[in-house]
Amino acid sequence: MSDPWKESFDHAVAVARKAGVVIRDALQNEVKVMTKSSSVDLVTQTDQRVEKIIISSVKEKFPTHSFIGEESVAAGLPCILTDDPTWIIDPVDGTTNFVHGFPFVAVSIGFAVNKELEFGVVYSCIEDKMYTGRKGKGAFCDGEKLEVSDVKEIRKSMIISELGSNRDEETVSKIFSTMKKILCIPVHGLRGSGTAATNMCLVASGAVEAFFEIGIHCWDVAAGAVIVTEAGGVLLDVDGGPWDLMSRRMMSANNKTIADRLIKEIDVFPAERDDVV
């Protein structure tokens, strides 16, 4: 079969859109906030509900497939990528945004087979933008082909990073010192949408040259990874080595020149891998 994952991809797009409608509707009601690893690591009933909707709909259609979902892992399920066709799901990427009504929230669905990402779907549901990428078949937003920017000079770049949810003082200092060094290169600007998935789509669209973060999880970036690479971008570890989905570290950029220049300024701090058992 020449296109074995087309049916899964089509289903991912449909279920991401359906999930986005649930999220948009939930924004009209009072949001009940709970916490996970710390007082700033937020979760809502919508995150849990949307993950259940996605997983049950996929299970019904593809009963042999496996799942790694943010809220299932938070509830104690393992976060191990096997060779099985695996759906890697963040039902609400940008939960803090969702809680505050800050208008960038995405449904992120990555799909891997034999530990290789085959497609990614990011539905930026408040903007109503559907981003997709399929291995070897390009990246698109609402049907329009995406291409990363061709900027090679760091001084002409706009960069995204995030502050994350780690409030350990030493970590926060390293995040700020990295941002200060990058800002003072100088770059044109430093931004953050509050959702890693959307940030990666902004790299793929050419709106920014790079997005990097230490502390993200595989479900935040699995879908965006396919979209960035299919738009012509690069993925690296924050030390310049090969990118690893489970490492919780990511540099995504329009090209290696920009990525390497930023990597020189990153003060790396530890983040426990996603697949630690």
What is the contact surface with ligand IPD in residues (CB under 6 A)?
70, 90, 93-95, 162, 164, 194-196, 213, 215-217, 220
Partners of 80 in the beta sheet?
Answer: none
Query: Considering the complex, what minimum distance in angstroms separates the CB of residue 202 from ligand IPD?
Result: 12
CB nearer to ligand IPD: give 146 or 214. Answer: 214
Cβ within 8 Å of residue 54, ≥6 positions away:
15, 16, 19, 69, 87, 89, 91, 107, 109
CB nearer to ligand IPD: give 37 or 173. Answer: 37
CB nearer to ligand IPD: give 149 or 195. Answer: 195
Query: Considering the complex, what minimum distance in angstroms separates the CB of residue 61 from ligand IPD?
Result: 24
CB nearer to ligand IPD: give 118 or 162. Answer: 162
Residue type, 270: P
CB nearer to ligand IPD: give 133 or 164. Answer: 164
Query: Considering the complex, what minimum distance in angstroms separates the CB of residue 56 from ligand IPD?
Result: 20
Whole-Å CA distances, 186 to 17, 102, 190, 225, 229: 39, 28, 10, 27, 26
CB nearer to ligand IPD: give 156 or 195. Answer: 195
Say how far apart CA 181 and CA 171 lie, in whole Å.
Answer: 16
Query: Considering the complex, what minimum distance in angstroms separates the CB of residue 6 from ligand IPD?
Result: 28
Query: Considering the complex, what minimum distance in angstroms separates the CB of residue 102 from ligand IPD?
Result: 11
Cβ within 8 Å of residue 178, ≥6 positions away:
161, 265, 266, 267
Alpha carbon dihedral 54, 68, 270, 252, in 10-degree steps, equals -60
- Nearest C-alpha neighbor of 117 from the set 152, 87, 95: 87
Query: Considering the complex, what minimum distance in angstroms separates the CB of residue 64 from ligand IPD?
Result: 27
